Amino acid sequence: MELKPNGLPREGLYSLDTVTLIYFLERHPNFYQKAKGLFQRIESGNLSAIFSSLVFAELLVPAFCSGEKQRAEKLVHILTNFPNLKVVPLSTGMATTAARLRAGHGLRTPDAIHAATALESGANGLITNDKEFLKIGTDDFGVWLFEG
């Protein structure tokens, strides 16, 4: 499913892949407006969202590589204090589900962890731009892409 302004249901819990956060935080030239609209809905409480703590291991690398410790700290602060957005730590159950997803769908470990976080947390679906996640979409669990 393509992410359109009104493409998501009015309410529910959605899991965010790292790329969704990157599009918003780094004001991606092609996807920022869609990401901004999504985060405005989360901030206002129209949607609730979660993401795996793994996001920090992926998102903060550029800041640490360039020696920008304060930038990394600022990103952590923004994401851990954003309204209606929750960081979900990796649990044994999630790791087990990630292994099942890797075995059954051929997802890479980070993607399997993001998907397992969504599934184990009872999310309605996952918002990403990685078409590999389409493999796990079902009638009960949606995968929304920024572009089709």
Q: What is the CATH number of the domain that holds 135?
A: 3.40.50.1010
**Is the model's pLDDT at 4 over the cut of 70?**
no
Would 50 be classed as within a structural domain?
yes
pLDDT, averaged across the chain: 92
**Is the model's pLDDT at 3 over the cut of 70?**
no
Would 8 be classed as within a structural domain?
no
Stated as kind and residue range, the H or E segment containing 125 is strand 125-128
pTM of the model: 0.91
- Mean pLDDT confidence for 121-127: 95
pLDDT band of residue 7 (cuts 50, 70, 90) is low
19-33 per-position pLDDT tens digit: 999 999 999 999 999
Helix or strand or coil: residue 51?
strand
What is the number of domains present in the chain? 1
**Is the model's pLDDT at 9 over the cut of 70?**
no
Q: Which residue has the tokens 């990103």?
A: 75
36-73 per-position pLDDT tens digit: 999 999 999 999 999 999 999 999 999 999 999 999 99
Would 111 be classed as within a structural domain?
yes
**Is the model's pLDDT at 6 over the cut of 50?**
no
How is the beta sheet containing 13-16 ordered, strand by strand?
A: 85-88, 48-52, 13-16, 125-128, 142-145
79-118 per-position pLDDT tens digit: 999 999 999 999 999 999 999 999 999 999 999 999 999 9
Alpha-carbon distance 73 to 109, whole Å?
25
Alpha-carbon distance 144 to 15, whole Å?
10
| Residue 49, pLDDT score | 97
Q: Which residue has the tokens 């044994």?
A: 92
Would 55 be classed as within a structural domain?
yes
Domain of residue 45 covers: 13-145
Would 1 be classed as within a structural domain?
no
Would 3 be classed as within a structural domain?
no
**Is the model's pLDDT at 147 over the cut of 80?**
no
Would 5 be classed as within a structural domain?
no
Cα maximum dimension of the chain: 44
Would 33 be classed as within a structural domain?
yes
